[in-house]
Chain A
Amino acid sequence: MSVLAPRRSTLPGFGLTMGLTLTWLSLIVLIPLAGLFVRSTDLSLAQFWDIVTSRRTLSALKISFGLSFAAACVNLVMGTIVVWALVRYRFPGRRLFDAIVDVPFALPTAVAGVALTALFAQKGWLGAPLAAMGIKVAFTPLGIFIAMIFIGIPFVVRTVQPVLIDLDPEIEEAAASLGASRWHIVTKVILPSLTPALLTGFALAFARAVGEYGSVIFIAGNLPNVSEIAPLLIVIRLSEFRYADATAIAVVMLVVAFVIIFAVNRLQRWAQSQAST
């Protein structure tokens, strides 16, 4: 630690707080996660590979990652529209909608799952009319997709909103006085300026959706290879007493999660360095 610390620094407490941080981080996060990796080494590489590439696992990962990706895409588009409406326009209930964006953050996932299922089941308020149109939502991959959209909304909105608010109005005016149409201003100036925030929001929504369990299992059909998400497969493997399988899937998901978060942090740093003028 003393290597990390400045030789002498004005502000006190580096050793203490850094020590506390690293200790606590190790106890709560690193050691338990390391345990996961150690457990996975019970498996030979070939075994690990077999588990991870078995059809069931691959399907579950594909469903989790694929639907999360799709949901994150929807959130990217709709989140941008929501942010635009909230930031740029005044309309009745704007403040209310602004506050309500955070509901998926704060609402327990199980409650969300139960509520979404009730809403989209064939007898539900939205499920019934959709069923009449021949669209089944609950207990299909579409249901998973809906739940993932639900939990992802605030990530996109909350990362993009401050950036759009802080966006210098002058760059739009500059573009206008250079002869750009509104369409050109939006697509060539505003959206590119929002790109780092959009990517960050997208990645966060994606990462959260991939790992999501509570709100999804109620509404997912949980059919193997069709609507079985990776976290559920872990739970199933556990109740089959197949710890190794559960661990192997968990390791894959963990690595991906780490990569995403690391990328997001780099992205934010980069955006900050771009912003510092």
Chain B
Amino acid sequence: MSIEMTLQRTPDGSARSLAESAARRDPRAEPAIVRVAIITLAIAFLSIFVVLPLVVVFVEAFGRGVVAYLSALADPEAWSAIRLTLGVAAVSVGTNLVFGLAAAWAITKFDFPGKTFLITLIDLPFSVSPVISGLVFVLLFGAQGFLGPWLQDHDLQILFAFPGIALATIFVTFPFVARALIPLMQEQGTQEEEAAISLGASGLQTFFRVTLPNIKWGVLYGVLLCNARAMGEFGAVSVVSGHIRGETNTMPLLVEILYNEYQMVASFAIASLLAMLALITLIAKTILERNIDGDMPHDD
């Protein structure tokens, strides 16, 4: 709504003299020179730091033609990496979704002491170095770690296998769904739920019929970001993966490996898949944001 306000207030350069003097004197507008300078700076900055790296990925990926690109993707190792990545992402998104919903419910619908602290703990993985995220699981499950000997006795492989990679990824993507939901649900308050309960709905009915439909875009938004990060995680996975070809290499790891094997096209081909995923995520996110806004009643 304020976007439209800005829209209205931004001078449209219409020719009449009154409008012109309005444009000159709009108390919320900068002089044209400043305006142009700011826009130029912003575009230049974003182009250099964001657009160009993205372009590089695609240029390199398609540098030797589409055939080379496709054959790079047809490689069984690429497939195995894609499968693993999808599997890991599915598991982390799934668990973090359940957790995120539970955490958001507990935090936003009830009052209890230590809320900020709890939110901080949930946020923590966000700013923990991915390397440390991997390291903690090595310390926990490694052969020399706390649980290592016990795991080995029971023949359980966690590190350097799917569970370890999934755990590290879950850790890294832990806050995403909860973070997307908490502010949204905080803003929505508890009145609709109270209304539902007083109309005779059970807890589950209230959740599925009232809460969930209201936050569905937020949920999707969190899931998208969680998924993007889960598929793209490098540092943490690198520490716990073991780099077994065709087995424990995720797509980002394969990017590095292929890069190190002078297979630039293949490397950038996988990278371009990930970049594409990122772009799709962003497009979906942009659409969702509009939906989330649309869901919010502005008028009461």
Contacts and interface: CB of A to CB of B under 8 A. Distances in A.
Interface in A76-119: 78, 81-82, 84-91, 93, 95, 97-112, 114-116, 118-119
A13 B278 contact: no
B18 interface: no
A111 B193 contact: no
Given A112-B53, A253-B132, A21 B124 contact: no
Interface residues of B, number: 112
A178 B255 CA distance: 59
B177 to A, nearest CB: 12
B14 interface: no
B259 to A, nearest CB: 6
B286 A99 contact: yes
Contacts of B268: 114
Nearest to B227: A106
A262 interface: yes
A126 B128 contact: no
B214 to A, nearest CB: 14
Contacts of B232: 106-111
A24 B127 CA distance: 19
Interface stretch (A49-57, A191-199, A220-228, A242-250): A242-250
Given A12-B202, A36-B136, 17 more contacts: A10-B197, A81-B41, A84-B42, A93-B43, A105-B225, A105-B229, A108-B231, A109-B234, A153-B46, A169-B5, A177-B27, A182-B29, A207-B126, A234-B135, A250-B129, A254-B128, A269-B116
Interface of A: 4-6, 9-14, 16-18, 20-21, 24-25, 28-33, 35-36, 38-39, 78, 81-82, 84-91, 93, 95, 97-112, 114-116, 118-119, 124-126, 146, 149-150, 153, 165-167, 169, 172-173, 175-177, 182, 185-186, 204, 207-208, 210-214, 230-232, 234-235, 238, 243, 246-247, 250, 253-254, 257-258, 260-262, 264-266, 269
